């Protein structure tokens, strides 16, 4: 098998749109057996699947792939060409994706998992240099993009803030972008103005990734959020189609939710409950886009208690005070706080609680509470961890090396800890 057993099975289930239970039943094996085949190599409970199962699943997947190949002949060619913007290999908005292309990207992210988990190393991007240009505060986006590029064998040059860049001397976006393009092979840009990253991208032919443009979009975050939901749903035996997603908090200025709701809308029959304080509602143009497909239900409320009932996913967000006009009140009172009490009161045992992070943990902030930290339903750190494989997949696809990764892998020479966080034990090796 060219890919690991885990990647092979996850890809098969995703392509066939089947939950673990249904997939196990279809191929005539016990769900427990399937679970052990899906565990990462090296985990104690992991088992090899019998060769007959592998051949059987390959046949199903290949037939299905053949069918879709005939019905979607326009969809052939490298993924980077199919998601290109004006012929350029860039990631500016989730609007560039279809359901098929997003799932193809996730198959690449699955291949990256042994590298992201520090079991393997790869040098496919050896010699390539990434320019990480962050003109706004960032911890995880900047570091995870940098780490993802390094883990593929590339190197990273950073610039942070306006103060230490020539933009403080009045340099234009066009000049900055063109000059940087002479130095690096790809750029990730975060900038406080909506549309500014597209302006950077316009001035260059090297791959540009939008790391967040003001209140506009944050496509890589939405991709890792969707990847997390699909991974968690696979563990819980749920399907994306028909899921109930509750988005909570600052839906007006939060770029992560702007990208996420559009990406989720590629699926079918979703119920979106949008819970925000007065004045921080989701912008109309985004709502219209999501509603246009006629496939989804959208409800808006100012009551957290009502909105969370029946949710499969709670996605909480921070109030983006830095984008407020002077004197504007956030209205984010205690009633909007996602905490243990409300989750216990209105949610089921298999809800997942997400947040793009950072969460504001200062007194009086009412952001996602830390009192859920020991609750396995809190997926925020698994979500942040997924930033690495997903961002590696983005680079591999944009630079056209995704097919080289599998064969480039070697074992790591050092020993990483088996649990990377002190509270990870409950979920270690479960997905
Ligand atoms: C978000 C951002 O910068 O948009 N963070 C992130 O990238 N993970 C969310 C936020 O700042 O609240």
Contact present, 83 and 91 (Cβ < 8 Å):
yes
CATH number of 220-384: 3.40.50.1370
Residue nearest to atom 8 of ligand 1 (CA): 356
Q: What is the C-alpha separation between 148 and 153, in angstroms, rounded?
A: 9
Q: Where are the domains of the chain?
A: 5-70, 80-217+388-411, 220-384
Residues of the chain with pLDDT under 50: 70-74, 428-431
Query: What is the longest distance spanned by two Cα atoms in the chain?
Result: 67
Which residues, other chains included, contact 50 with Cβ-Cβ below 8 Å and sequence gap of 6+?
none
Residue nearest to atom 7 of ligand 1 (CA): 141
Cis status, amide bond into 398, omega within 30 of 0:
no
The class level of CATH for 80-217+388-411 reads alpha beta
Contact present, 336 and 302 (Cβ < 8 Å):
no
| Closest ligand 1 atom, residue 138 Cα | 3
pLDDT digits (tens, 9 = 90+) for 161-187: 887 778 878 899 999 999 999 999 999
Ligand 1 contact via 141 beta carbon (within 6 Å): yes
Query: What is the pLDDT, as a whole number, of residue 121?
Result: 97
Q: What is the pTM of this model?
A: 0.87
Contact present, 200 and 189 (Cβ < 8 Å):
yes
What is the Å distance from ligand 1's center to 9 Cα? 32
- C-alpha closest to that of 413 among 154, 118, 144: 118
Ligand 1 contact via 131 beta carbon (within 6 Å): no
* Mutation pick for ligand 1 pocket among 135, 140, 141 (CB with most ligand atoms within 8 Å): 141
Query: What is the pLDDT, as a whole number, of residue 68?
Result: 60
Query: What is the pLDDT, as a whole number, of residue 161?
Result: 84
Query: Alpha carbon of 410 to those of 107, 128, 335: distances in Å?
Result: 20, 19, 51
Query: What is the pLDDT, as a whole number, of residue 426?
Result: 56
What is the Å distance from ligand 1's center to 115 Cα? 25
Contact present, 352 and 312 (Cβ < 8 Å):
yes
| Closest ligand 1 atom, residue 137 Cα | 3
Torsion over CA of 215, 220, 224 and 229, rounded to 10 degrees? 50
Contact present, 7 and 107 (Cβ < 8 Å):
yes
What is the Å distance from ligand 1's center to 358 Cα? 6
Establish whether domains 80-217+388-411 and 220-384 are of one fold.
yes
pLDDT digits (tens, 9 = 90+) for 83-94: 999 999 999 999
| Closest ligand 1 atom, residue 140 Cα | 8
Query: What is the pLDDT, as a whole number, of residue 214?
Result: 97
Q: What is the C-alpha separation between 218 and 145, in angstroms, rounded?
A: 13
Ligand 1 contact via 212 beta carbon (within 6 Å): yes
Residue with tokens 């392509």: 15
Ligand 1 contact via 359 beta carbon (within 6 Å): no
| Closest ligand 1 atom, residue 318 Cα | 12
Q: What is the C-alpha separation between 78 and 119, in angstroms, rounded?
A: 28
What is the Å distance from ligand 1's center to 90 Cα? 20
């Amino acid at each position: 098998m060219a890919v690991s057993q885990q990647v092979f099975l996850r890809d098969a289930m995703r392509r066939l749109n089947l939950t673990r239970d249904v997939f196990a039943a279809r191929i005539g094996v016990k769900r427990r057996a399937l679970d052990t085949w899906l565990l990462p190599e090296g985990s104690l409970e992991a088992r090899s699947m019998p060769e007959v199962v592998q051949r059987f699943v390959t046949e199903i997947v290949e037939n299905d792939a053949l069918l879709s190949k005939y019905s979607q002949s326009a969809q052939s060619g490298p993924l980077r060409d199919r998601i290109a913007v004006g012929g350029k290999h860039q990631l500016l908005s989730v609007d560039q994706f279809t359901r098929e292309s997003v799932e193809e990207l996730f198959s690449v992210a699955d291949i990256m998992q042994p590298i992201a988990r520090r079991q393997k190393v790869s040098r496919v991007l050896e010699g390539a240099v990434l320019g990480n240009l962050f003109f706004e505060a960032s911890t995880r986006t900047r570091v995870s993009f940098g780490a993802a590029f390094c883990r593929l064998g590339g190197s990273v040059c950073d610039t942070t803030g306006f103060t230490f860049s020539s933009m403080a001397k009045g340099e234009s976006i066009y000049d900055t972008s063109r000059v940087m393009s002479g130095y690096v092979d790809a750029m990730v840009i975060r900038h406080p103005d909506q549309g500014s990253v597209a302006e950077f991208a316009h001035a260059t032919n090297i791959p540009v990734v939008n790391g967040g443009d003001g209140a506009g979009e944050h496509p890589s975050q939405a991709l890792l959020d969707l990847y997390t939901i699909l991974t968690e749903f696979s563990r819980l035996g749920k399907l994306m189609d028909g899921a109930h997603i509750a988005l909570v908090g600052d839906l007006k200025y939060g770029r992560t939710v702007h990208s996420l709701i559009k990406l989720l809308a590629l699926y079918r029959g979703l119920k979106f409950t949008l819970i925000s304080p007065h004045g921080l509602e989701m912008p109309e143009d985004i709502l219209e886009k999501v509603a246009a497909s006629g496939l989804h239900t959208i409800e808006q409320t100012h009551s957290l208690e009502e909105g969370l009932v029946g949710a499969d996913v709670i996605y909480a967000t921070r109030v983006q005070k830095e984008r407020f006009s002077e004197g504007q009140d956030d209205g984010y009172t205690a009633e909007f706080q996602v905490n243990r009490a409300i989750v216990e009161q209105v949610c089921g045992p298999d809800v997942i609680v997400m947040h793009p992070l950072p969460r504001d943990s200062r007194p009086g902030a009412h952001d996602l509470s830390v009192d859920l930290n020991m609750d396995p339903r809190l997926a925020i750190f698994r979500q942040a961890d997924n930033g690495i494989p997903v961002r590696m997949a983005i680079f591999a696809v944009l630079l056209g090396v995704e097919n080289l990764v599998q064969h480039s892998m070697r074992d790591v020479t050092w020993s990483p800890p088996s649990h990377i966080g002190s509270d990870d034990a409950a979920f270690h090796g479960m997905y």
